[in-house]
Chains A and B, each alone.
Chain A
Amino acid sequence: MPRRPRRWRRGMWIAVLLAPGLAVMTLFVAVPLLSSFRYAFYNFKGVLPDAFIGLANFGDVLFEAPFAAQTWRALWHNCVVFVSLMVVQNGLAYLIAFALLKTLPGHRIHQTIIFLPVVLSAVIVGFLWKLFLHPLFGLVNAALALVGINGPPWLGNESTALGSIIFTNAWHWVGFPALIFLAGMQRISKETLEAARIDGADDRVLMTRIIWPLVAPSTTIVATLTFIGSFNWFELPYVMAGATGSPGGATDVLGLLFYRTAFGTASSGLQDFGHGSALAVLMFAFIAITSGIGLHFLRRREIEA
């Protein structure tokens, strides 16, 4: 008999401790998520939901010209961002991690330097690089001019704008995957690496044949985070290219499209929470499902390795 009250009291105690956190999560995460899910099915009259219209908002953003063209273009840009970041940012991070693993002289200071930009806010990095890439006052074009190259207006040119923002993202974030890879590499036993060395493996073989399969768990984390980051990409393009993805939508991504659909742009104050919520729900579903499937395959790869 005396046992049950004690267990009950323990349960109460846990509930009391959980309640504040749960309340905050419900109020600020679950409720907005669910209400945006609900709004996606409503037509909006001004800023208030007006009538239930089923899947019409989804139909508009996916198949109705000219909105659909923007959605698919934005999705394509998100894919470009993901692939480029995987190759450029994370590829470079892998090489850096390997270089740091070799504990060459000065590796500690380099480790700090490489990780330093990660602690800066994306807004600061965005403004910084927007200034560096400025066609009139920018450092980049000034440096290029020294060697006789007439640099383009990086962020104003359709063909270089998205690449410039991806580059900035890589500059900002490269330290993070590098750290994860480094941690993964440091977990590999010294014996394995030494045995490979004795068998005559050079750095290239070591990196591609020995280390790569053994850091599979790190790759899973990096790939998943890059995927989510790429498809939720917002701060950098917003700061560097504005809500419309300047120039002419060349840097438009789903995050920007959602933002300007729901909240309007500088020039048009038209707010449309219905279509905006539909986009948000689609983004959420796409990211959740794709990263779920991706995780499944990446995990299986870890076990095989």
Chain B
Amino acid sequence: MIGKKFARRALAGLMMAGSLGAAAQAGDVTFWTWRQEDKAVYQDLFAEFTKANPGVTVKFEAFPNENYNTIVTTALAGGKGGDVLHARAYGGLEAMAKSGYYLPLDKTNVPELANLPDDANASESLRADGKVYAVSLAGQTLGLIVNKDIFATAGVAVPGTWAELLSACTALKAKGITPIANGTATPWMDAIFATVFTNPFLGPDWVKDMLAGKTNFSDAKFTGALAKLLELKPCLPDGFTGVDYATSQQLFSAGRAAIFVGGSFEIAPFRRGNPKLNLDFVPPPAPAAGQPTYVSRFFDSGFAVNAKSANQADALKLVRWMATKAFAEPAAAKLGNISSLKDVAAADPLLGKIAKLNETAMPYIGLVYFRYEAPTGTDLLQDGVQKMMGGVEQPEGVGKAITAGLAKWYKPFQK
């Protein structure tokens, strides 16, 4: 009798303690992120949110980037964690969301998903169920970052076609300027370098055929595009196989190189490093005059709702707000990125130009479609390109290795 009573009381006590711990106060939403450096920006934005939604406050909590996945997964597995979670995209999202820790979002609970383009929503979806699990924050665009002053002083026009690029290289080199700052010693840069220059040669239709399994990376169109990269060898710094990412950045920052092949995420560090740089962002050269060219694009993070959040109503309110211009416009301006939302005006003219280029962008193939399982598309691409540029592998061999590697897990290639 006494035992039963005691047990009941203990249980009641435990339940109370549990509810206190998990629910916090109604109106309190905790936001978890790995972006400690953006704390001030988010806190300002969250203050705006509280103004629009009186009674709901948002608490910002950041964790180290390298341990973020582990910390979040462990917390979620234990039924804890922030109410709104900064989420990765593509394969990075899948690692976290496939265990059911994120709340699926759709038109009913987040009607604002309609403000995002399909490819942005796809970046925060699971392959298994096609459901969206986060509101995409921003995208990155890959292309050529150009030092306008170097081109102007040298009297060389910024190249618009492949042939123009090669002749611009010769002209710049004659003036003692390194035409392209990139080396091949840092592998992840090689995947970006290859994607930027090969995408215009491939075109969006090839990507569709490839995804459907009608063609693959052993295709002559792909290996032919890879072979084009070899023509760029004379444009790269001396000893480019030993030139790493940091050196490439230094060469460009110091005004010793005219072009940096990279992503829109490089612009802010370049401006910080050398405020005098007169930057432009242009798409890679078209295969020939009159043909279309494309920048490459991917989305990099988003905002998810903890499926076990005790304050899901307010968490959803916050995420819905993050999918509107009220959040996206000031966030893009303050974080210096390009919002995933449709029709968000960019405060910075250069980012505005990139947003315009994004309208016809092609995907960063290796990342967008093939960074789900090992070996990943980008790992295979960067390994192959590094070898090819170093002269120990042929484009055909690279294409074959990419196809064979992806066939480990990509069904359309398993024929």
Q: How large is the interface on B (under 10, 10 to 19, 20 to 34, 35 or more residues)?
A: 35 or more
Whether A237 sits at the interface, judged by CB under 8 Å, is: no
Stretch in B47-55, B206-214, B216-224, B373-381 touching the partner: B373-381
Whether A20 sits at the interface, judged by CB under 8 Å, is: no
Chain B contacts of A136 at CB under 8 A? Answer: 237-239, 243, 247, 251
B300 to chain A, nearest CB (A): 11
Task: Please name the residue on chain B nearest to A272 by beta carbon.
Answer: B374
Complex Cα–Cα for A65 and B390 (A): 24
Interface residues in A16-50 by Cβ distance below 8 A to B read: 45-48
Whether B184 contacts A271 by the Cβ 8 Å rule is no
Interface residues in A143-202 by Cβ distance below 8 A to B read: 152-158
Whether B373 contacts A248 by the Cβ 8 Å rule is no
Whether A117 sits at the interface, judged by CB under 8 Å, is: no
Complex Cα–Cα for A227 and B41 (A): 52
Whether B238 contacts A156 by the Cβ 8 Å rule is no
Chain A contacts of B95 at CB under 8 A? Answer: 46-47, 269-271
Task: Please name the residue on chain A nearest to B92 by beta carbon.
Answer: A269
B373 to chain A, nearest CB (A): 7
Whether B188 contacts A267 by the Cβ 8 Å rule is yes
Please pick, from A48, A133, A157, A266, the residue contacting B241 in the complex, using a CB distance under 8 A: A157
Whether B239 contacts A66 by the Cβ 8 Å rule is no
B292 to chain A, nearest CB (A): 28
Whether B387 sits at the interface, judged by CB under 8 Å, is: yes
Count A interface residues, CB 8 Å.
36
Task: Please name the residue on chain B nearest to A133 by beta carbon.
Answer: B242
Consensus secondary structure, chain B interface: helix
Consensus secondary structure, chain A interface: loop
Chain B contacts of A266 at CB under 8 A? Answer: 187-188
Complex Cα–Cα for A246 and B386 (A): 8
Q: Mark B287-313, 1 if CB is under 8 A from A, else 0.
A: 000000000000000000000000000
Chain B contacts of A137 at CB under 8 A? Answer: 247
Whether A255 sits at the interface, judged by CB under 8 Å, is: no
Whether A249 sits at the interface, judged by CB under 8 Å, is: yes
Chain A contacts of B23 at CB under 8 A? Answer: none
Max chain A C-beta neighbours (<10 A), residue from B95, B184, B379 = B95
Whether A265 contacts B242 by the Cβ 8 Å rule is no
B377 to chain A, nearest CB (A): 9
Interface residues in A46-81 by Cβ distance below 8 A to B read: 46-48, 65-67
| Given A136-B237, A247-B386, A248-B383; A268-B378 close (CB under 8 Å) | yes
Interface residues in A127-143 by Cβ distance below 8 A to B read: 133-137, 141
| Given A242-B187, A269-B88; A156-B390 close (CB under 8 Å) | yes
Chain B contacts of A135 at CB under 8 A? Answer: 237-243
Whether B404 contacts A66 by the Cβ 8 Å rule is yes
Closest 8 CB pairs of A and B: A135-B239, A153-B242, A156-B242, A156-B241, A153-B239, A248-B387, A267-B188, A135-B242
| Chain B residues packing against A (C-beta within 8 Å) | 69-70, 73-74, 77, 88, 91-92, 95-96, 98-99, 183-188, 191, 237-243, 247, 251, 367, 371, 373-376, 378-379, 382-384, 386-387, 390, 392-393, 401, 404-405, 408
A to B CB contacts below 8 Å, 29 in the list: A46-B98, A47-B69, A47-B74, A48-B74, A134-B242, A135-B238, A135-B241, A135-B242, A136-B238, A136-B247, A152-B239, A153-B241, A154-B242, A155-B242, A156-B239, A156-B243, A158-B392, A246-B187, A247-B386, A247-B387, A249-B383, A265-B187, A265-B379, A266-B188, A267-B188, A268-B379, A270-B91, A270-B95, A275-B374
